[in-house]
Amino acid sequence: MDALLVVHFLTRPFGDNHSLGTSISDCLELINERWVIEMRHELREGNKCLDHLANLAQDLALGVVLPHTPPMSILSLLQ
């Protein structure tokens, strides 16, 4: 799903019969906790490191991955 579409889902009203209604509601419940957050869409070109990490993540199994060091492939982008 496109990130801009996700931002729209989380920042605009949606119908009760929306196919993603339960997921959107669950996300909004988490967002409405005592978090300080900002929802915005960033173009890929505006954050090459994030775009690269997102592309790497597509090849991983589902779950949370916490690397202890940056992947070698991103080092040139960090410089």
Residue 21 resides in a domain: yes
Residue 38 resides in a domain: no
The structure tokens 């490191």 sit at 49
The pLDDT score that the predictor gives to residue 20 is 79
**Arithmetic mean of pLDDT, 51-77:** 80
Residue 69 resides in a domain: yes
pLDDT classification of 2: cutoffs 50, 70, 90:
low
Residue 62 resides in a domain: yes
Q: What is the pTM of this model?
A: 0.41
Rounded (10°) CA dihedral 28, 29, 30, 36: 70
Q: d(Cα 58, Cα 9) in Å, to the nearest integer?
A: 22
Domain that holds residue 49: 44-77
Cα distances (angstroms) measured from residue 46 to each of 43, 51, 52, 59: 5, 9, 12, 23
Residue 66 resides in a domain: yes
Residue 18 resides in a domain: yes
Q: d(Cα 25, Cα 31) in Å, to the nearest integer?
A: 10
pLDDT classification of 67: cutoffs 50, 70, 90:
confident
**Arithmetic mean of pLDDT, 46-63:** 78
Indicate the number of domains in the chain.
Answer: 2
Q: Which of 15-19, 39-43, 55-59 is most confident?
A: 55-59
The pLDDT score that the predictor gives to residue 1 is 54
